[in-house]
Amino acid sequence: MDRMSDAQINEFDIVIAGAGMVGASLACLLAESSLRIALIDRNPLVQNKDNESAEIHSDKFDPRVSAISQASQQLFQQLGVWEDMKAARVCNYGAMEVWDAEGTGSIEFSAAEINQPELGNIVENSIIIAALHKRIAQLENIFPITPFSIESFEHIERQDGSIVKLNAGDGQAIRAPLVIAADGANSKLRQLANFECREWDYEQHALVTTVRTQLPHNNTALQRFMETGPLAFLPLRAASEDDAQQFCSIVWSMLPDQAERAMSLSEDEFNAELAAALESKLGAIEWSDKRFVFPLRQRHALNYVKESIVLVGDAAHTIHPLAGQGVNLGLLDAKALAEELQRGIEAGRSVADPTVLLRYQRRRKGNNLSMMWLMEGFKRLFAQQNLSIRWLRNIGMNAADKMTPIKNQMIRKAMGLDS
Ligand SMILES: Cc1cc2nc3c(=O)[nH]c(=O)nc-3n(C[C@H](O)[C@H](O)[C@H](O)COP(=O)(O)OP(=O)(O)OC[C@H]3O[C@@H](n4cnc5c(N)ncnc54)[C@H](O)[C@@H]3O)c2cc1C
């Protein structure tokens, strides 16, 4: 490395790789420290131009939405970004109905049962990201460096300790003693650093789109479990008074060949099949937007920490979207890591001190794993064609619906109140 290019290399206390919902939230959390933090992403951060709110307020919804738990909402409030999201567009839901397509089993969760105003909020991912990026632009110790697409990395041993150098494809480079990988499910950093993962294909694809229904959703989320995968209707709030409650975001998990077929249907054909799949609970599907398909994989890194590189969010774990927990788990990772780093700094430790990083791993791994096994269990249970299992499933659902303490515990867990 010659002197000239060495001087061009930026050096920080921490590099966060990935400015998605998890990486951007972590950057905001760490802004409370005195650390110099680089936030890199292969895409530019959202520029909060004046016309953006106009775009958000039209009835064009982002096809990617997240069911934001109360715990995540509290985190966004702490970061000062929740009000911006609310002003743009969020839709609270006070109830969730879940039922079995192959029988009579059903369960209904309601916020009122646990004396809460709502179970959660459906928020478009683009709205979450825009609010976080707007906040980042106001933070003096967060340095966004984009576009920066990670191509390789190396560990450099120096007299003052070990440092990680990240290289981008275009010749840019950046260094820090600690690199946090928040670069999503296909994390390049996780692969480059050879983190071992346990992963399997769900053999399901998720089809997502936005629909307009004949009947109002009444701020209730619906989920119908079918052998081939669950179908979720997540309520959205439209700007116009007339049909404010008639838009939903759908996540329809199905076998890959079914997804291919569903993508090839005309809008009318698709709408008719979708209404039938929901047993016409919201009447006819009057309109549907462009459809997108995501292959579903479950993946969990065996360790979240390896020589000054730490995984958070989808880089550490991807989970079936059926319970809408992916980003909520990632935000809990971000919170735990920020707390442990802060605790370490106060105790005079370096940011890459393994004791600090392993404390974060201990706090999050078991929790993430138990949620992943729960989702896997649900998926397998509902894929069963065996009649006695179906019968037990229906009995179990109906019984759970009547068992208030168990049900309340399930609700609190999903809301992130008991993590
Ligand atoms: C169909 C579907 C529905 C879902 N619904 C829900 C839900 O209701 N609730 C919920 O909690 N979760 C849900 N999830 C999961 C949720 O979307 C993810 O958990 C969440 O997006 C993960 O956020 P992240 O910030 O970890 O990763 P990402 O959102 O993937 O962000 C990664 C960032 O890293 C950047 N990046 C990637 N590679 C590089 C590179 N090489 N160099 C530089 N930058 C890079 C990307 O540009 C991006 O900005 C759903 C997922 C799917 C597929």
Q: How many domains are contained in the chain?
A: 1
Least confident of 218-232, 257-271, 321-335, 397-411: 397-411
Asked, for residue 22, whether it belongs to a domain, the answer is: yes
* Count of CB atoms situated within 10 Å of the CB of 237: 16
The pLDDT value recorded for residue 240 is 79
* pLDDT at 5 exceeding the cut of 60: no
Tell whether ligand 1 has an atom less than 6 A from the beta carbon of residue 152: no
Identify the band that residue 244 occupies on the pLDDT scale cut at 50, 70 and 90: confident
Percentage of the chain lying above the pLDDT 90 cut: 67
CA-wise closest residue to 284 among 295, 272, 296, 294: 272
Asked, for residue 258, whether it belongs to a domain, the answer is: yes
What is the chain's mean pLDDT, rounded? 88
Report the nearest-CA residue for atom 42 of ligand 1.
149
Rounded to the nearest angstrom, the distance between the alpha carbon of 391 and the centre of ligand 1 is: 37
The pLDDT value recorded for residue 324 is 80
Report the nearest-CA residue for atom 4 of ligand 1.
321
* pLDDT at 415 exceeding the cut of 70: no
What is the edge-to-edge ordering of all strands in the sheet holding 120-124?
Answer: 65-68, 120-124, 90-93
Report the nearest-CA residue for atom 12 of ligand 1.
326
Tell whether ligand 1 has an atom less than 6 A from the beta carbon of residue 416: no
HSE (CB half, 13 Å, CA atoms) of 220? 17
Domain extent, residue 359, equals 3-378
Arithmetic mean of pLDDT, 304-311:
96
Question: Mind listing the pLDDT tens digit for each residue in 202-242?
Answer: 788 999 999 999 999 999 999 998 888 889 999 999 887 77
Residue count (the chain) = 419
CA-wise closest residue to 23 among 337, 301, 372, 356: 337
Identify the band that residue 7 occupies on the pLDDT scale cut at 50, 70 and 90: very low
Report the nearest-CA residue for atom 39 of ligand 1.
183
Asked, for residue 300, whether it belongs to a domain, the answer is: yes
Question: Mind listing the pLDDT tens digit for each residue in 9-35?
Answer: 589 999 999 999 999 999 999 998 989
Rounded to the nearest angstrom, the distance between the alpha carbon of 130 and the centre of ligand 1 is: 14
HSE (CB half, 13 Å, CA atoms) of 105? 22
* pLDDT at 255 exceeding the cut of 80: yes
Least confident of 66-80, 184-198, 332-346, 385-399: 385-399
Q: Could you tell me the pTM of the whole model?
A: 0.90
In contact, 38 and 23? CB cutoff 8 Å: no
Continuous segment of H or E residues that includes residue 395: helix 387-402
Arithmetic mean of pLDDT, 246-272:
97
Beta strands at 10-11 and 173-176: parallel, antiparallel or unpaired: parallel
Asked, for residue 403, whether it belongs to a domain, the answer is: no
Arithmetic mean of pLDDT, 149-162:
92
Asked, for residue 401, whether it belongs to a domain, the answer is: no
Phi, psi of 292 (to 5 degrees): -130, 150
Arithmetic mean of pLDDT, 289-305:
95
Tell whether ligand 1 has an atom less than 6 A from the beta carbon of residue 313: yes
Looking up residue 339, the CATH number of its domain turns out to be 3.50.50.60
The pLDDT value recorded for residue 385 is 60
Report the nearest-CA residue for atom 1 of ligand 1.
206
Question: Mind listing the pLDDT tens digit for each residue in 373-410?
Answer: 776 766 666 666 665 555 555 556 566 566 666 656 66
Asked, for residue 218, whether it belongs to a domain, the answer is: yes
Pocket test for ligand 1, best of 70, 145, 183, 190 (most atoms within 8 A of CB): 183
The pLDDT value recorded for residue 103 is 65
Least confident of 309-318, 345-354, 366-375: 366-375
CA-to-CA dists, residue 271 to 102, 113, 283, 291, 340, angstroms: 22, 34, 11, 11, 48
The pLDDT value recorded for residue 8 is 45
Tell whether ligand 1 has an atom less than 6 A from the beta carbon of residue 100: no
Atom of ligand 1 nearest to the CA of 328: 11
The pLDDT value recorded for residue 419 is 56
